[in-house]
Homo-oligomer: A and B are copies of this chain.
Amino acid sequence: MATAANSVPHPTLISVSIDVASVVFALNLRRSAPQISRRHVNFLLYQNNEILTHELRKGIHNRWHPDIPPMVTVKPGETFKIECVDSDDIKNVDLTKIHYLTGPIAVEGAEPGDCLVVDILDIKPFDKMPWGYTGIFELENGGGLFAREFNSRAAKAIWDINGIYATSRHIPGVRFAGVTHPGLIGTAPSAELLATWNKREGELIAAHQNAVPPVAFPPEPIGAYVGQDLDPKVFEKIAKEGARTVPGREHGGNCDIKNLSRGSRCYFPVFVKGANLSVGDLHFSQGDGEMSFCGAIEMAGIITFSTSIIKGGVEKFALKQPIFLPSPIDPLYSQKLVFEGLGVDIHGDGKQYNMDASVAYKQAALNAIAYLMKIGYTREQSYLLLSAAPVESHVGAIVDSPNACVTLAIPTGIFDHDILPNPDGFPKKDFGQCAIRSDGVV
């Protein structure tokens, strides 16, 4: 029976504020004064960061750097909770600021070369925020897989989270159970590893200057913050060198793997003393690939962890990147409609690629979008749905030159209507449209 003595929750070690209005206001001011010098920006930035830290951003950082000190330290075996904010605006997303990570969390006894075992025990939206959203960014700001093909304008779908299910007023006829997961989780890089990242990504950027959207994002002091009161010199170093959070890397990071979900056990390589785990970008659900970039159902919420350490695990398991055991509670939608895609741009100019699984994924996705449009969904609805629903994409074959073959599987059980091919084709149906820009451009 419940008594006061046994009514003790697992501790919440880092809490966050989810009322972000004032923060956004402050940051937007800074963005509207681009004429001020870089050095001065850095100074303002620091001041700003100080303010934000003390008010709203305590415990949140948005760069990867070994010098960001841990916010908390836990012992192996403890169960604890961490709060996370959700992501940013759609139309005016400021990529210098994303992603908002909570941490770092140091684990007692973890040392470089160890393997940090992280149990993702649970992930929930905040009780007062039973909703999330999926967005298409503008071509010129954020992009997405089909930013150029669709000449993307901002659009989104709001999802209502009703217990284990999501539904959207913007994409009617669909309901699915969430595979809740952190889009972004990783250990802190060592200085050496960070230098490697900056070097190799810098070379790629140099080779693709003026690309829209850009091919990668270099360190950027503007927008950087660390969620703690630091010596200004330390902060400036972090802001100048810190790796951006957009891509996944050897430490984990923004891998956006939907099956790294609540209930999974993950094995991370440790690069710094304490491991310094950070987490953010919680997703209520996501399709394999997260097509539209802001394609998962983004939500604010609480993640529950416990950790342990395997000494020397990097060597023991040849651990160049994280490995994991998925959760036993992956939703079970056994019937799927599967689309194939090849390394040929059959939806465009017909160009033949050379064993390109990325192109094959895109073609499979375009095949699926074309099919959903026959059913009556708009292109934007289809794009958002495939990004957010528990869609599976397999690499079918990657050796049959010159065509990689990638599949995209839509679970039929998420629809409240029959989407299987039938002799009569589909009757015309109107499912409305997702949320679009106030000027009506899609």
A251 to chain B, nearest CB (A): 11
Q: Could you mark each residue 313-345 of chain A with 1 if its beta carbon is under 8 Å from any beta carbon of chain B, else 0?
A: 101111011111111111111111111111010
Find A352's partner among B130, B145, B201 (CB 8 Å cutoff).
B201
Tell me the chain A residues, 372-389 only, with Cβ under 8 Å from chain B: 373-374
Q: Are B256 and A357 in contact, with the CB atoms below 8 A?
A: no
Which residue of chain B lies nearest to A330 when distances are taken between CB atoms in the complex? B332
Copies assembled: 4
Contact B208 A354 (CB under 8 A): yes
Flag whether A355 is at the interface (Cβ < 8 A): yes
Indicate the size class of the contact surface on chain A. Answer: 35 or more
A396 within 8 A of B: yes
Q: A262-B164, A263-B163, A320-B346 are in contact. Are A334 and B338 (CB under 8 A)?
A: no
**Chain B hits for A27, CB < 8 A:** none
> CB distance A407 to B257 under 8 Å?
yes
Q: A397–B248 contact, CB under 8 A?
A: yes
18 inter-chain pairs at a CB distance below 8 angstroms, sorted by A residue, are A121-B162, A122-B162, A164-B263, A204-B354, A252-B340, A254-B400, A255-B340, A258-B396, A316-B374, A316-B425, A318-B373, A320-B367, A324-B340, A325-B338, A328-B334, A332-B332, A356-B357, A361-B398
With beta carbons under 8 angstroms apart, the residue of B249, B399, B407 that contacts A293 is B399
Selecting from A13-21, A34-42, A227-235, the interface stretch reads: A13-21
* In contact, B398 and A290 (Cβ under 8 angstroms): yes
State which of B10, B263, B344, B409 has its C-beta within 8 Å of the C-beta of A326: B409
Q: Mark A250-269, 1 if CB is under 8 A from B, else 0.
A: 10101111110011000100
| Cα separation A82 to B276 with both chains bound (whole Å) | 39
Assess whether B403 is in contact with A248, with CB atoms less than 8 Å apart.
yes
Contact A332:B323 (CB < 8 A) given known A255-B405, A257-B405: no
Query: What are the interface flags for A71-102 relative to B under an 8 Å C-beta threshold, 1 for contact and 0 otherwise?
Result: 00000000100000110110000000000000
| B316 adjacent to A421 (CB under 8 Å) | yes
Residues of B within 8 A of A317 (CB): 371, 374, 421, 425
Residues in B with CB closer than 8 Å to A3 are: 19-21
- Complex partner residue of A327 from B177, B304, B313, CB under 8 angstroms: B177
A44-52, A62-70, A214-222 - interface stretch: A214-222
Are the CB atoms of A371 and B318 closer together than 8 Å?
yes
Is A402 in contact with B334, judged by CB distance below 8 angstroms?
no
Contact of B336 with A291 in the complex, beta carbons under 8 Å: no
Distance to closest chain B CB from A409 (angstroms): 7
What are the 5 tightest A-B residue pairs by CB atom distance, in nearest-first order? Answer: A121-B163, A122-B163, A256-B397, A316-B425, A318-B370
| Cβ contact within 8 Å between B295 and A1 | no
B86 touches A397 (CB 8 A): no
Q: Does A29 contact B (CB under 8 A)?
A: no
CA distance A192 to B24 in the complex (A): 56
Q: Is A440 an interface residue (CB 8 A)?
A: no
Q: Kindly provide the distance from the CB of A435 to the nearest chain B CB, expressed in whole angstroms.
A: 14
Contacts of A393 in B (CB 8 A): 394-395
Most chain B beta-carbon contacts within 10 A, residue among A346, A370, A423: A423
Cβ–Cβ < 8 Å partners of A428 in chain B:
none
Task: Mark each residue of chain A from 106 to 141: 1 if its CB lies under 8 Å from any CB of chain B, else 0.
Answer: 000000000101011110101111110000000000
